[in-house]
């Protein structure tokens, strides 16, 4: 889609005027490109008609050349079509229940875990409830994901998904959690049994948010699934997964246009922090292949909130580096997401980065270790003796060995900070050099 559009629009950019011929030519190409991207036929038709009408309007060509003008129009229209509607989750009297629905393989279980991580980073206390009892492996999968990010998972020994959901919710409530995400079973196709089960689970847990998880790679099929669900389960929003694949864009465009339900999140990879709040304007840029520079800038800005940065700098200069500092700097880096995701948004980088890995599990374990220390231990790490190490390892579900490694890493970082504070360039620790 994007190559093609850029070619056409590039052509247009060299033209001096945006006349009817130029617009028609561009629209023909855009129409083809959208159809190729698996956008629903009717949606394409309406879209093209809308852009065309706007392009031939009066206010064309003010300070822009023809190509820029059409890019802007196409972009704005795409964003308009995909946007409008609330991309935020609803929160009520805790615990807020989020019900995840969708076909098998769409990404429900993975997205449940991602959403939990996302919400915890916003200061919530989320838990996961396993209500997919189709296959025993499904529960194990959710438990494993939960362990990776240190989020509690509630399972019940029953073959009744309604009971599993209700009991899980009760226990999560008892544990004082404020968001409960219920992972449900899918089927290969939409069928009565699935819809019936979902409706019963929904009535049992009374979710404030019903999310429909759709695989963006299935293209047009995603629209059919969304329509079928809409007839039986009133979902509030969509999570579009696998947008890191090739067929990006098409489904986002059609699903919103046809169901009218907002797309709330975009999943852009298998790693647990590869879930993004959906931004229609940015998705439009992505579809148009302009590179998602906006998201990139925002991510970097959010990661290093200015005051936080100043405080870190002050402490670095003083050569202090407690585990509280460690956690803070660690989280700054984590909030940016894996480097891979950040780099991918730069125009022209994209696919070259496939195959590079970021170990989310490792990062979560480090965070868990620090969180298992008392505030005093975090401030005064030299207090952490043998018995304390054992307690911290047990509390964080890690090993003494891992705790020792982290203690050593903090020491190393403190040394580097001290050198930086004195204006010297620190030597790289041996495991990082070479």
Residues that bind ligand GDP (CB under 6 A): 102, 104-110, 186, 241-242, 244, 267-270
Partner from ligand GDP, Mg ion, none contacting 241, C-beta within 5 to 8 A by type: ligand GDP
CA–CA gap between residue 13 and residue 66 (Å, rounded)? 5
**Which residue's CB is nearer to ligand GDP, number 110 or number 329?**
110
**Among Mg ion, ligand GDP, none, what binds residue 262 when CB lies within 5 to 8 Å by partner kind?**
none
**Which listed option, Mg ion, ligand GDP, none, makes contact with residue 102 (CB within 5 to 8 Å by class)?**
ligand GDP
How many CB atoms within 10 Å of residue 265? 22
Q: And the tokens for 106?
A: 């769409």
**From the CB of 186, what's the least distance to Mg ion, in Å?**
6
The Cα–Cα gap between 50 and 24 comes to 12
Report in angstroms how near the CB of residue 351 gets to ligand GDP at its nearest: 13
Known binder of ligand: residue 242?
yes
Nearer to ligand GDP, 69 or 101 (CB): 101
Is 104 annotated in a binding site? The answer is yes
Find out whether 397 is annotated in a ligand binding site: no
Tell me if 236 is assigned to a ligand binding site.
Answer: no
The least CB distance from residue 256 to Mg ion, in Å, is: 24
β-bridge partners, 210: 99
State the nearest-atom distance from the C-beta of 213 to ligand GDP, in Å. 6
Whether residue 185 is annotated as binding a ligand: the answer is yes
Q: Is 186 annotated as a binding residue?
A: yes
Contact stretch for Mg ion (CB under 5 A) within 24-32, 105-113, 359-367, 386-394? 105-113
Asked if residue 158 belongs to a known ligand binding site, the reply is no
Residues 6 or more apart whose CB falls under 8 angstroms from that of 77 comprise: 47, 50, 51, 54
Residue 106 interacts, among Mg ion, ligand GDP, none and using kind-specific CB cut-offs from 5 to 8 Å, with ligand GDP
Which residue, 67 or 107, is less far from ligand GDP as judged by CB? 107
Nearer to Mg ion, 140 or 401 (CB): 140
Angle between helices 250-259 and 220-232 (to 10 degrees): 30
Contact yes or no for 32/4 (Cβ under 8 A): yes
Rounded-to-integer distance, Cα 311 and Cα 274, Å: 29
CB of 109 to Mg ion, least distance (A): 3
Q: What DSSP string runs through 342-404?
A: HHHTSTTTGGGGTT----HHHHHHHHHHHHTS-HHHHH-GGG--HHHHHHHHHHHT--HHHHH
Q: According to CB under 5 A, which one of 8, 96, 109, 372 is a site residue for Mg ion?
A: 109
Q: Which two tokens stand for residue 54?
A: 């706007």
Compose the 127-146 pattern: x for residues touching Mg ion by CB under 5 A, - for all others.
-----------x--------
For ligand GDP, give the closer residue by CB, 121 or 314.
121
**DSSP states along 60-100:** TTSSS-HHHHHHHHHHHHHHHHH--S--SPP--SSSEEEEE
Residue 101, interface with Mg ion (CB under 5 A)?
Answer: no
**How many CB atoms neighbour CB 359 within 10 A?**
11
- List % helix, strand, coil for the chain (3-state, nearest 5): 60, 10, 35
Cβ contact 71:14 at 8 Å: no
Is 102 marked as binding a ligand? Answer: yes
**Binding-site entries:** 102-109, 183-187, 241-244
Q: Which residues sit at the interface with Mg ion, rule CB under 5 A?
A: 108-109, 138
**Binding-site entries for GTP:** 102-109, 183-187, 241-244
């Amino acid at each position: 889609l994007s190559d093609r559009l850029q070619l056409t629009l590039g052509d247009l950019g060299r033209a001096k005027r945006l006349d009817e011929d130029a617009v028609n030519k561009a629209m023909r190409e855009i129409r083809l490109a959208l159809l190729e991207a698996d956008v629903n036929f009717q949606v394409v038709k309406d879209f093209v008609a809308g852009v065309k009408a706007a392009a031939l309007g009066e206010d064309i060509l003010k300070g822009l050349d023809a190509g820029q003008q059409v890019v802007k129009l196409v972009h704005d229209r795409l964003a308009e079509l995909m946007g409008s509607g609330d991309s935020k989750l609803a929160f009520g009297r805790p615990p807020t229940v989020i019900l995840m629905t969708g076909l098998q393989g769409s990404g429900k279980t993975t997205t449940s875990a991602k959403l939990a991580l996302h919400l915890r980073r916003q200061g919530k206390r989320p838990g996961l409830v396993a209500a997919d009892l189709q296959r025993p492996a499904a529960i194990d999968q959710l438990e494993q994901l939960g362990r990776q990010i240190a989020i509690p998972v509630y399972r019940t020994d029953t073959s009744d998904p309604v009971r599993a959901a209700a009991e899980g919710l009760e226990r999560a409530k008892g544990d004082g959690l404020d968001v409960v995400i219920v992972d449900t079973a899918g089927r290969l196709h939409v069928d009565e049994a699935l819809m019936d089960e979902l409706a019963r689970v929904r009535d049992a847990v009374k979710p404030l948010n019903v999310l429909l998880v759709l695989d963006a790679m299935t293209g047009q099929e995603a629209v059919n699934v969304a329509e079928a669900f809409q007839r039986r389960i009133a979902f509030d929003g969509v999570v579009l997964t696998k947008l890191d694949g090739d067929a990006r864009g098409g489904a986002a465009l059609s699903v919103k246009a046809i169901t009218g339900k907002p797309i709330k999140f975009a999943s852009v990879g298998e790693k647990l922090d590869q879930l993004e709040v959906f931004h229609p304007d940015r998705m439009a840029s992505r579809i148009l292949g302009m590179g998602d520079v906006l998201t990139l800038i925002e991510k970097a800005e959010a990661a290093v909130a200015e005051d936080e940065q100043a405080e870190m700098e002050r402490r670095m200069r003083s050569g202090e580096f407690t585990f509280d500092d460690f956690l803070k700097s660690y989280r700054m880096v984590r909030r940016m997401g894996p480097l891979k995701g950040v780099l991918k948004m730069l125009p022209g980088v994209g696919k070259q980065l496939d195959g590079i890995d970021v170990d989310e599990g490792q990062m979560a374990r480090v965070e868990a270790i620090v969180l298992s220390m008392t505030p005093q231990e975090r401030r005064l790490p030299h207090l952490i003796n043998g018995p304390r190490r054992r307690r911290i390892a047990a509390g964080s579900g890690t090993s003494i060995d891992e705790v020792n490694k982290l203690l050593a890493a903090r020491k190393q970082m403190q040394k580097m900070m001290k050198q930086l504070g004195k204006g010297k360039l620190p030597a790289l620790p041996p495991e990082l050099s070479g």
